[in-house]
Chain A
Amino acid sequence: MHDNATFEFLCRMGDNTLVLGHRVSEWCGVSPVLEEDIALANTALDLIGQTQMWLGLAGDIEGKGRSADDLAMLRDVWDFRNLLLVEQPNGDFGQTLMRQFLFDAWHVRMLQALTGSSDKRIAEIAAKAVKEASYHVERSGDTVIGLGDGTAESHGRMQAALDLLWPYVGEMFICDDVDEAMKSAGIAPDPNDLRAGFDSHVTQVMTDATLLIPEDDFAHKGGKNGHRHSEHLGHMLTQMQWLQRAYPGASW
């Protein structure tokens, strides 16, 4: 049970970075300004690198000989364990950066906690990833502020993005059986414990951005336990996994 739960947990971490890294990479070559193009690619590269580590470790712990690539390219939607937030489509640049900031503000706290994990391998991955995430959250936070407190148009678009994505925030803090097992083994924190820090960070940024956090705290769920993903994920996988599916067994 313990190893099963750890495998599940690692898939959650790795699928988040896999799916979000993929989404961010969709911006390559078409972002609003060259400097942003380069910065977004850096974020995507960090996330892909973290994916290799999380899913690599997941495969080791599972012990069935599956590599990070096998897990990324050969599982179907119901086996993915990422948050619904990260599979949401890019929308406009503001929506992409809002999604990024909301994820980063959670991610950096989760990784910070994982640096003290009782599992040394997890602590090591987190120690590397938390540095990347700290930069991500600074950059995405600044951009949310800049666009929120920019022109009337940029303000309106950012408020719309926040309204659209806020219902996907709650899932990050749900505590289920896997989280309970991780918590009691000292492997990972209780997600609830990350909420206060997240809320004060997000409130500060949204205040600076002159944006209003929606009062309704309804939360969509079903991503991190794989129970019910959105329709978007399947389309992403058809693209991401196409070569591996069309030419099984080939080496690339």
Chain B
Amino acid sequence: MYAQMVKSTGQGVKSLDDMEPQERAFQERIDAGDKIEPKDWMPDGYRKTLIRQIGQHGHSEIVGQLPEGNWITRAPTLERKAILLAKVQDEAGHGLYLYCAAETLGVSRDELTEDLLSGKMKYSSIFNYPTLTWADMGAVGWLVDGAAIMNQVPLQRTSYGPYARAMVRICKEESFHQRQGYDIMMKMARGTPAQKRMAQDALNRFWYPSLMMFGPSDKDSVHSAQSMAWKIKMNTNDELRQKFVDQTVPQAEYLGLTVPDETLQWNEGKGGYDFAEPDWSEFFDVIKGNGPCNRERLAARNKAWDDGKWVRDGLLAHAEKRASKKVAAE
């Protein structure tokens, strides 16, 4: 997902009886559906895992601006340009909300940013894939945002108050993203032969990377078990991936496009599709930095940050000058 493979304490989940009273009271509040707020006591592992997860989620929104930003200046109509720009703008907003949520845990935005830029913190693997044709704007909205929504909707109920509130706002804004993507796909799939070819090609390239967004199976992962006990992860990766496939396949059929998976088949018994796993070695390559665009994405963010330093410093210096003038006048 946007936060893939977040490591928790790695200790496995303690039973209530094994916990110290403070931790036990904390876990009982979570079990009862209480929200944890910034000033509340929390286990160190909870705080650290959340910083990693929210940070990674925020970084994904920020880096996620780039593949779509790649097409803003080439959008085919004024309306498409406005829609795409508004959508990428929302992603900046989502990154902002998430960074602010992480800041309540005692990390600053600049610290998070520097950890992204140095490669210490990760962002979703999906944004290391290139956007090559206009149909990719459709595929990204339809598949990538579709997969993201699968994860984000349950996270509105996550145990950490600021994170849950950020997710509520994000989900409210996100619903237009997937729809505008599908709208582009419909135009393309019903358009000229060249457009239809673009649409199929986009689906071919984005299908497996979208499935990878949910991360490898985590049914045996101690990290996931702990995160689920803390209610900062609400479903297993496999559950969400299955749900995504079940939702998306009929949408592809409606478009008259073919999902690039010859093994894809409805399984009456489980009430869902059987489908091929993505190539997980490719996934690990991308995570390690060897995706098609890792270098460009990080270079773009680093350049923006470095080039912007004089602006951030300049505006702050001005604000401080004004504040001290005001004090002097009083």
Q: Do any beta carbons of A and B sit within 8 angstroms of each other in the complex? A: yes
Report whether A68 and B78 are in contact in the complex, using a CB–CB cutoff of 8 Å: yes
Interface hits, B166-194 → A, CB 8 Å: 184, 187, 191-192, 194
User: B72 on the interface (CB 8 Å rule)?
Assistant: yes
The closest CB in chain A to the CB of B301 belongs to: A30
User: B120 on the interface (CB 8 Å rule)?
Assistant: no
User: A61 on the interface (CB 8 Å rule)?
Assistant: no
The closest CB in chain B to the CB of A238 belongs to: B74
Report whether A48 and B92 are in contact in the complex, using a CB–CB cutoff of 8 Å: no
Bound complex: CA A158 to CA B312 (Å)? 14
Which B residues are CB-close (under 8 A) to A134?
none
Tell whether A30 pairs with B304 under 8 Å between CB atoms, given A38-B92, A252-B80.
yes
Report whether A93 and B307 are in contact in the complex, using a CB–CB cutoff of 8 Å: yes
Report whether B134 and A29 are in contact in the complex, using a CB–CB cutoff of 8 Å: no
CB distance from B192 to the nearest CB of A (A): 5
Which of A75-83, A115-123, A163-171, A242-250 lines the interface with chain B? A242-250
Within 8 Å by CB of A26, from B66, B73, B92, B191, lies B73
Bound complex: CA A147 to CA B62 (Å)? 25
Report whether A32 and B308 are in contact in the complex, using a CB–CB cutoff of 8 Å: yes
Report whether B191 and A48 are in contact in the complex, using a CB–CB cutoff of 8 Å: no
Most buried by A among B72, B191, B319: B72
The closest CB in chain B to the CB of A158 belongs to: B314
Within 8 Å by CB of B313, from A94, A150, A243, lies A150
**Total interface residues on A, using CB and 8 Å?**
51
Bound complex: CA A113 to CA B81 (Å)? 29
User: B300 on the interface (CB 8 Å rule)?
Assistant: yes
Q: Is the interface of B mostly helix, strand, loop or mixed?
A: helix
Identify the B interface with A (CB < 8 A): 62, 65-66, 69, 72-82, 85-86, 88-89, 92-93, 95-96, 99, 134, 184, 187, 191-192, 194-195, 300, 303-304, 307-319, 321
Bound complex: CA A243 to CA B69 (Å)? 16
Bound complex: CA A26 to CA B73 (Å)? 7
Within 8 Å by CB of B72, from A28, A149, A153, lies A28
A-B contact pairs, 13 of them (CB 8 A): A25-B72, A25-B85, A30-B69, A32-B308, A38-B92, A41-B89, A44-B85, A73-B76, A154-B310, A155-B314, A243-B76, A250-B76, A250-B192
User: A34 on the interface (CB 8 Å rule)?
Assistant: yes
Report whether B73 and A145 are in contact in the complex, using a CB–CB cutoff of 8 Å: no
Tell whether A243 pairs with B134 under 8 Å between CB atoms, given A25-B72, A26-B73, A94-B311.
yes
Report whether A154 and B317 are in contact in the complex, using a CB–CB cutoff of 8 Å: yes
Tell whether A38 pairs with B96 under 8 Å between CB atoms, given A28-B89, A151-B317.
yes
Report whether A252 and B300 are in contact in the complex, using a CB–CB cutoff of 8 Å: no
User: A132 on the interface (CB 8 Å rule)?
Assistant: no
Report whether B85 and A32 are in contact in the complex, using a CB–CB cutoff of 8 Å: no
Which A residues are CB-close (under 8 A) to B195?
247, 250
CB distance from B109 to the nearest CB of A (A): 8
Which B residues are CB-close (under 8 A) to A35?
96
Q: A92-B307, A252-B187 are in contact. List 4 more A-B contacts (CB 8 A).
A: A28-B85, A93-B311, A154-B311, A154-B314
Interface hits, A36-55 → B, CB 8 Å: 36-38, 41-42, 44-45, 48-49, 51-52
Report whether A48 and B81 are in contact in the complex, using a CB–CB cutoff of 8 Å: yes
Bound complex: CA A37 to CA B195 (Å)? 32
Report whether A69 and B187 are in contact in the complex, using a CB–CB cutoff of 8 Å: no
Bound complex: CA A31 to CA B194 (Å)? 35
Report whether A29 and B65 are in contact in the complex, using a CB–CB cutoff of 8 Å: yes
Report whether B88 and A28 are in contact in the complex, using a CB–CB cutoff of 8 Å: yes
Report whether A32 and B309 are in contact in the complex, using a CB–CB cutoff of 8 Å: yes
User: A22 on the interface (CB 8 Å rule)?
Assistant: yes
Report whether A239 and B96 are in contact in the complex, using a CB–CB cutoff of 8 Å: no
The closest CB in chain A to the CB of B91 belongs to: A29
Report whether B314 and A41 are in contact in the complex, using a CB–CB cutoff of 8 Å: no
Interface string of A139-183 (1 = CB under 8 A from B): 000010111011101110100000000000000000000000000
Bound complex: CA A157 to CA B78 (Å)? 33
The closest CB in chain A to the CB of B184 belongs to: A252
